[in-house]
């Protein structure tokens, strides 16, 4: 059992005026989100470890059966159980927890409060935002005004539309580049937090929740929202938290 959290970076200066792409830094609000994110994850990690420890102890007690329970002094039993529970929870919460960010400033800065002593932190280029080629750092309003045909073409087919210019990508391109990472995510056993960008988040969540590729580009994924994905025996569960000040 493990935890998988996914979120976008904190608010960037480009988010303020709706510019796409680029490599902007966080605003003060975005930095506060990063700090709160660390506290939130640390808390979630502890309570998860505690519930796992409880479950382990129940399994252990079931395995003992009647004979062994008969031998325990009931007054001592309570303390011993508590101590064992805390020890198991401590051991579990110190097990590895991975934090993946993209290689863009806004994503790495969001992870700035995560200490490398407590987290296994990796910056991965595959998690970078869609490359909007010649339209990097423009606003949607500018694109619509200067390149109305392109704007319309993207609205009509967001999945396949590839931004013109060097390095320009489509959703399909990003889906392809994310494939090795999604395989790695499914293969690994430790809990993780992924701090990434709008398009990449839509694709990762869409994949985990089994959305069609056509639906993914239209998923509503605001900033300062954390998603926790939990596989269940039948289907899955998604929890969402919003950061508010």
Does position 132 interact with ligand F6P (CB under 6 A)? The reply is yes
How, if at all, do strands 97-101 and 120-123 pair? parallel
| Other C-beta atoms lying within 10 Å of the C-beta of residue 223 | 21
Does position 217 interact with ligand F6P (CB under 6 A)? The reply is yes
Does position 6 interact with ligand F6P (CB under 6 A)? The reply is no
Instruction: Using DSSP, state whether 231 is helix, strand or coil.
Output: strand
Q: 129 an active-site residue?
A: yes
The residue among 20 and 49 lying less far from ligand F6P, judged by its C-beta, is 20
Instruction: Using DSSP, state whether 65 is helix, strand or coil.
Output: helix
CB of 192 to ligand F6P, least distance (A): 21
* Residue of the chain from 37, 45, 114, 129 that contacts ligand F6P (CB under 6 A): 129
* Residue of the chain from 10, 21, 34, 206 that contacts ligand F6P (CB under 6 A): 21
* Residue of the chain from 45, 106, 198, 224 that contacts ligand F6P (CB under 6 A): 198
> From CA 103, how far away is CA 125, in angstroms rounded?
5
User: For every residue of 121-180, which 3-state class applies, written as one string?
Assistant: EEECHHHCCCCCHHHCCCEHHHHHHHCHHHHHHHHHCCCCCCCCCCCCCCHHHHHHHHHH
Number of residues counted as binding ligand F6P (CB under 6 A): 9
* Residue of the chain from 130, 181, 204, 221 that contacts ligand F6P (CB under 6 A): 130
Structure letter (DSSP) for residue 129: P
Does position 34 interact with ligand F6P (CB under 6 A)? The reply is no
Does position 228 interact with ligand F6P (CB under 6 A)? The reply is no
Q: What tokens appear for 99 in the block?
A: 């934090």
Does position 26 interact with ligand F6P (CB under 6 A)? The reply is no
Instruction: Using DSSP, state whether 209 is helix, strand or coil.
Output: coil
* Residue of the chain from 4, 6, 20, 143 that contacts ligand F6P (CB under 6 A): 20
Annotated catalytic residues are: 8-9, 15, 106, 129, 197
User: Which residues contact ligand F6P by CB under 6 A?
Assistant: 20-21, 129-130, 132, 197-199, 217
């Amino acid at each position: 059992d493990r935890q998988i959290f996914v979120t976008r970076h904190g608010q960037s200066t480009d988010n303020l005026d709706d510019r796409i792409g680029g490599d902007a830094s966080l605003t003060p609000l975005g930095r506060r989100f990063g700090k709160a994110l660390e506290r939130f994850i640390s808390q979630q990690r502890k309570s998860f470890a505690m519930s796992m420890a409880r479950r382990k102890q129940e399994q252990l007690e079931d395995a003992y059966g009647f004979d062994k329970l008969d031998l325990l002094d009931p007054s001592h039993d309570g303390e011993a159980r508590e101590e064992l529970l805390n020890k198991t929870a401590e051991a579990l919460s110190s097990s590895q927890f991975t934090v993946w960010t993209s290689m863009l400033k806004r994503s790495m800065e969001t992870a700035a409060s995560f200490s490398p002593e407590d987290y296994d932190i990796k910056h991965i280029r595959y998690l970078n935002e869609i490359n909007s080629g010649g339209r990097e750092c423009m606003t949607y309003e500018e694109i619509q005004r200067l390149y109305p045909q392109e704007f319309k073409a993207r609205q009509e087919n967001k999945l396949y539309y590839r931004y013109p210019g060097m390095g320009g990508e489509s959703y399909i391109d990003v889906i392809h580049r994310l494939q090795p990472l999604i395989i790695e995510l499914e293969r690994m056993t430790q809990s993780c937090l992924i701090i990434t960008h709008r398009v990449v988040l839509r694709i990762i969540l869409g994949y985990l929740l089994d959305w069609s590729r056509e639906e993914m580009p239209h998923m509503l994924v605001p900033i300062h929202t954390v998603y926790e994905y939990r596989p269940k025996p039948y289907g899955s569960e998604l929890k969402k938290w919003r950061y508010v000040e």
